[in-house]
Amino acid sequence: MSAPVQAPRGTFDVLPADARRRTLIEGAARKVLEAAGYERIETPAFESTELFARGVGEATDVVQKEMYTFDDGGGRSLTLRPEGTAPICRAYVGHGMHKLAQPVKLWYLGSYFRHEAPQAGRYRQFWQVGAEALGSDDPAVDAESIALLAELLAELGVRGLRLRLSSLGAHDTRAAYREELQAYLHAHADRLAAEVRARIELNPLRAFDSGDPGTQAVMADAPLLLDRLGDEDRAHFAAVRALLDDAGLAYEVDGTLVRGLDYYTRTVFEFTSDELGAQSGVGGGGRYDGLVEQLGGAPTPGMGWAAGVERIMLAAGDQPQALPPVDLYVAFVGAEHRRAAFRIAALARHAGLHAQLELAGRGLKGQLKHAGRLRARYVAILGDEGTALKDMETGEQRELEPDAVIAAVQRVGL
Ligand code: HAM
């Protein structure tokens, strides 16, 4: 026998018990987001590579080393989507959504792909639930978006949550700050980790993320972008904070908050959970006022977030979901009763019951045992002696006409 084929590293199967919990997450997302007028959108699992190179940023880890990129055989470079914001901006432009009432509010849930080193809470295919609002730079969009993620995480029982908040300001503020930070890093280069030093030109902000103690000591005194914001950006950030205060949402302003994607302007935020290990980010996002234009659309502000479904489940702890109940199990003794049994099970489902049929050729004893395992409320038994209905709670059994089975089961639910 040859060795069994293995699933690729960093991937996992969603088994039924897991799928039940995910259904719950999807339902909660729909409820929370649709109540605020967000509508579901889905984009393809792969896109042209250019979308992410232009949208996410050439200098980011995501684009530099984490993308699954392939040639489609016709000379086009395609990439499995590593994130959902750039694709949604592409769709916004491509479908002329600027003609709709603004902001256009969209939510999504799907799988994303990053070639990262797998560890607890970090996978190569993972699921995100996300929300994007395009077409308004009103600070209320930012605050509402953040509050919606807070509500969703609370609804799902995510524990140990902390919200970090910052503002990156406008593009030119960031460019000037970048130069200032680079000069600071060069001045202290001897105390920085080699990998941080190597990235001073490409991505100096990542120095704030370093786990190296020497680098951390240098970064404790580094200039912060938050202290360099222009008047308008400062006012925008103050308005966002005031709305969050009014909403009673606790947050920490953290000028060292770094996001891994380049498109952010103004508000950025991240929810972390103390329940998670090194990969503590449950969900995060921010404003991306230049992204649509960068992708060839008219200047359009945008704000949104994404949260990792697996990290939500890890941080919410084990909350096993019960199997749906089985109202009726249709057993039969003798193959000549299969057709009648099949018909009763089908009609019962049409009538709105959860009904299953014996499908594995078990004897009557085996069928009753299986019905017990499924926690079936009733078992109909079809055989040469007629039809019986067994109440699995009381153990009582009575004879009845086959056509009376469904009504009898339905009556009990009343
Ligand atoms: P992100 O922070 O890169 O943002 O990812 C969002 C969330 O996805 C993370 O907080 C984490 O929970 C989850 N995640 C990311 N990578 C992995 C992985 N390898 N394994 C498991 N979970 C992962 C974005 O993707 C932005 N598009 C968010 C956004 C939307 N910004 C504005 N709008």
Tell me the per-residue pLDDT of 283-321, one tens digit each, with 9 for 90 and over: 999 999 999 999 999 999 999 999 999 999 999 998 888
Both 312 and 332 in one domain: the answer is no
From the CA of 285, give the closest atom in ligand 1.
Answer: 31
Both 96 and 126 in one domain: the answer is yes
The answer to whether residue 45 scores a pLDDT higher than 80 is yes
Query: Does the CB atom of residue 285 touch ligand 1 within 6 A?
Result: yes
Query: Does the CB atom of residue 114 touch ligand 1 within 6 A?
Result: yes
Query: Does the CB atom of residue 109 touch ligand 1 within 6 A?
Result: no
pTM: 0.94
- Taking alpha carbons only, the member of 358, 285, 249 closest to residue 133 is 285
- Which of 316, 341, 366 delimits the end of a domain? 316
**pLDDT > 90 in the chain, percent:** 89
Both 370 and 246 in one domain: the answer is no
- By most ligand atoms within 8 Å of CB, the mutation choice from 22, 65, 68, 83 for ligand 1 is 83
Cα(223) to centroid(ligand 1), Å: 27
Give mean pLDDT, residues 205-229.
Answer: 93
The answer to whether residue 414 scores a pLDDT higher than 50 is no
Query: Does the CB atom of residue 57 touch ligand 1 within 6 A?
Result: no
Note the pLDDT of residue 279: 84
Q: Which residues of 118-147 are buried (b: 16+ CB within 10 A; e: fewer)?
A: eeebbbbbbbbbbbbbbbbbbbebbbbbbb
Instruction: Look at the chain and report how many structural domains it folds into.
Output: 2
Query: Does the CB atom of residue 132 touch ligand 1 within 6 A?
Result: yes
Both 163 and 292 in one domain: the answer is yes
- Which of 316, 335, 355 delimits the end of a domain? 316
Long-range contacts of 139-142 (CB under 8 A, 24+ apart): 139/236, 139/239, 139/240, 139/243, 139/267, 140/239, 140/243, 141/103, 141/303, 142/240, 142/243, 142/266, 142/267, 142/287, 142/303
Cα(114) to centroid(ligand 1), Å: 10
Note the pLDDT of residue 413: 52
In degrees and rounded to multiples of 5, residue 23 shows phi and psi of -60, -35
- Which of 259, 294, 316 delimits the end of a domain? 316
Contacts of 342 (CB under 8 A, 6+ apart): 330, 357
From the CA of 132, give the closest atom in ligand 1.
Answer: 33
